C-alpha cells in the first residue's frame, strides 16, 4: 500500500522528506555509529541537534530575544496547569472559551484554586465562531486558544491586551507569522505542525518567569527549564530531533510566510467546495471564524448515513482521518502544514463527485 493522505487531527501528517531523512539516519546518525535515540542528552552529538532546533525556531518564527524557547513534555494539557501555577499573582485570570481545549484550560485554573473569569464564550452556539473579547487591563493574564481543532474556528488576529496574553497554539503553530508584540507566552504540543507527539514548545517572555512562587514544584517552573536550556532533565531527544528536521523542511519551503500562503490556498479550495455545493455540504464554523487548519462540515440535514458513506469512500480512495469529532459529527479535514495541495485536490474531487451522486 502506498502513502495515504492523512487528514487526521493529531498526531498528524509529517512531511515525507522528513520521515525519509529520519529513516536514513535512524540506525547510524551522521556516522557516529549509534542512533540519536541512544545518544546522551549531555553529548556533543545531541547538543548540536538541540541547539539547532532552538535556533531554527527563533529564525523562522522571528522570535524576539526577550523570549526564551523551551522544550518541555506533557503536552498542552500540562500547560493548562503550569500557566496558572507560574503566572497567577492573586488577582483574576481571564479566559476566552472557544471550545473543548479552552474549557479544559479553564478547568485547570479552577483546580488550582485561583480567581478566574470567563470573559467571552461561544459555547451556546456549539463553538461555531470566535466571540468578541475584551480582557481587563489589570488581569493577571489573559488566555486564548488560537485554533480550535474540533470546531474548525481560528482567531483572525490576536487580541490587543495590556495584561500578559497567553496563547495555546497547539494546532496552528508555525502555520503563519505571528505578531510577537501582542504575545507574552505561546505554547503548543508538537504533534500537529512541528513533529511527533512528545515535545511541548513553550515560548515565554523572560520577565514573566520571575512571577513563580517558591511553592511551585521545580519541574513545573518555566524558570527551571529556561536556566538550563531545556536540559534540566532528560528531554524528549528523538522528538526534538524530528522537530529540527521539520523546521529545516519549513525553511526549505520558503519559510513560514510561504507556508502560510500555501495554507490559505488549500483552505480556500476546500471551503469553496463547501460553499459551491448548493447546500449539500454545510460548514460548522461561521465564515468569519473559519480555520485554515481544520475544516469541520456536515452533509445536509446532518445525514449520518451519507456522512459515514463518504468517510468509507474516502478511506477506499486513500484518504484517512476524515470522521468528525463526536461534538460536531460529520467530517473534519485537518490540513496542517504537511498536507499537500494534491491531497486537498483529491478530497475536493471526491466530495464533488459524491455530491453529484447523492444530491
Give the CA distances from residue 346 to residues 1, 5, 11, 315, 318, in Å, rounded to whole numbers and listed in that order: 17, 9, 21, 12, 9
Contact call for residues 80 and 111 (beta carbons, < 8 A): no
Report the C-alpha gap between 12 and 337 in whole angstroms: 10
297 three-class SS: strand
51 three-class SS: helix
Q: What is the dihedral of CA 206, 208, 213, 219, to 10 degrees?
A: -50
Indicate the DSSP class of residue 27.
S
**pLDDT value for 2:** 85
Contact call for residues 337 and 263 (beta carbons, < 8 A): yes
Strand ranges across the sheet with 141-145: 67-72, 200-205, 185-189, 165-168, 141-145, 92-97, 115-121
Give the CA distances from residue 33 to residues 28, 36, 235, in Å, rounded to whole numbers and listed in that order: 5, 10, 21
Contact call for residues 351 and 278 (beta carbons, < 8 A): no
Phi, psi at residue 159, to the nearest 5°? -60, 145
Report the C-alpha gap between 346 and 317 in whole angstroms: 9
C-alpha cell at 307: 456522512
Q: Sort 309 into a burial class: Cβ within 10 Å, 0-12 / 13-18 / 19+.
A: middle
Q: Provide the H-helix boundaries in 182-295.
A: 222-227, 237-252, 255-275
C-alpha cell at 327: 461534538
Contact call for residues 234 and 41 (beta carbons, < 8 A): yes
Indicate the DSSP class of residue 124.
G
Tally DSSP H helices, then E strands, for the chain: 9, 14
Q: What pTM did the predictor assign?
A: 0.98
Structural domains in the chain, sorted by start: 16-252 (3.40.640.10), 255-358 (3.90.1150.10)
Catalytic machinery residues:
101, 168, 192
Report the C-alpha gap between 44 and 25 in whole angstroms: 17
Ramachandran assignment for 261, one of left (phi > 0), alpha (psi -120 to 50 degrees), beta (any other)? alpha
* pLDDT tens for each residue of the chain, 359 residues long: 689 999 999 999 999 999 999 999 999 999 999 999 999 999 999 999 999 999 999 999 999 999 999 999 999 999 999 999 999 999 999 999 999 999 999 999 999 999 999 999 999 999 999 999 999 999 999 999 999 999 999 999 999 999 999 999 999 999 999 999 999 999 999 999 999 999 999 999 999 999 999 999 999 999 999 999 999 999 999 999 999 999 999 999 999 999 999 999 999 999 999 999 999 999 999 999 999 999 999 999 999 999 999 999 999 999 999 999 998 999 999 999 999 999 999 999 999 999 999 98
Report the C-alpha gap between 284 and 163 in whole angstroms: 32
Contact call for residues 285 and 128 (beta carbons, < 8 A): yes
Count CB atoms within 10 A of the CB of residue 353. 12
**pLDDT value for 269:** 98
Indicate the DSSP class of residue 275.
H
Amino acid at each position: 500500500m502506498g502513502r495515504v493522505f492523512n487528514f487526521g487531527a493529531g498526531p498528524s501528517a509529517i512531511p515525507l522528506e522528513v520521515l525519509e531523512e529520519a529513516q536514513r539516519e535512524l540506525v547510524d546518525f551522521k556516522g557516529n555509529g549509534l542512533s540519536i535515540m541512544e545518544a546522551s542528552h549531555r553529548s556533543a552529538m545531541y547538543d548540536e541537534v538541540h541547539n539547532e532546533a532552538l535556533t531554527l525556531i527563533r529564525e523562522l518564527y522571528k522570535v524576539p530575544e526577550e523570549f526564551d524557547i523551551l522544550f518541555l513534555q506533557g503536552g498542552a494539557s500540562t500547560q493548562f496547569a503550569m500557566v496558572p501555577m507560574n503566572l497567577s499573582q492573586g488577582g483574576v485570570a481571564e479566559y476566552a472559551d472557544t471550545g473543548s481545549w479552552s474549557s479544559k484550560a479553564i478547568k485547570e485554573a479552577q483546580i488550582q484554586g485561583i480567581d478566574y473569569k470567563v470573559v467571552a464564550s461561544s459555547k451556546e452556539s456549539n463553538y461555531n465562531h470566535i466571540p468578541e473579547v475584551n480582557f481587563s487591563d489589570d488581569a493577571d493574564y489573559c488566555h486564548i486558544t488560537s485554533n480550535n481543532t474540533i470546531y474548525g474556528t481560528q482567531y483572525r488576529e490576536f487580541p490587543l491586551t495590556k495584561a500578559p496574553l497567553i496563547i495555546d497554539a497547539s494546532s496552528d503553530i508555525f502555520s503563519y507569522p505571528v505578531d510577537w508584540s501582542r504575545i507574552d507566552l505561546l505554547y503548543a504540543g508538537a504533534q500537529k505542525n512541528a513533529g511527533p507527539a512528545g515535545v511541548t514548545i513553550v515560548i515565554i517572555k523572560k520577565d514573566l518567569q520571575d512571577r513563580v512562587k517558591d511553592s511551585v514544584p521545580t519541574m513545573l517552573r518555566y524558570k527551571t527549564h529556561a536556566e538550563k536550556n531545556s536540559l534540566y532533565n532528560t528531554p524528549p531527544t528523538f522528538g526534538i530531533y524530528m522537530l529540527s528536521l521539520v523546521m529545516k523542511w519549513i525553511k526549505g519551503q520558503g519559510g513560514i510566510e510561504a507556508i502560510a500562503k500555501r495554507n490559505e490556498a488549500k483552505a480556500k479550495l476546500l471551503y469553496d467546495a463547501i460553499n459551491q455545493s448548493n447546500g449539500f455540504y454545510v460548514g460548522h464554523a461561521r465564515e468569519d471564524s473559519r480555520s485554515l487548519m481544520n475544516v469541520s462540515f456536515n452533509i445536509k440535514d446532518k445525514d449520518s448515513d451519507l456522512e459515514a458513506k463518504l468517510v468509507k469512500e474516502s478511506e477506499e480512495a486513500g484518504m484517512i482521518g476524515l470522521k468528525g469529532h463526536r461534538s460536531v459529527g460529520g467530517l473534519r479535514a485537518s490540513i496542517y502544514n504537511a498536507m499537500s495541495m494534491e491531497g486537498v485536490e483529491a478530497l475536493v474531487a471526491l466530495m464533488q463527485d459524491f455530491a453529484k451522486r447523492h444530491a
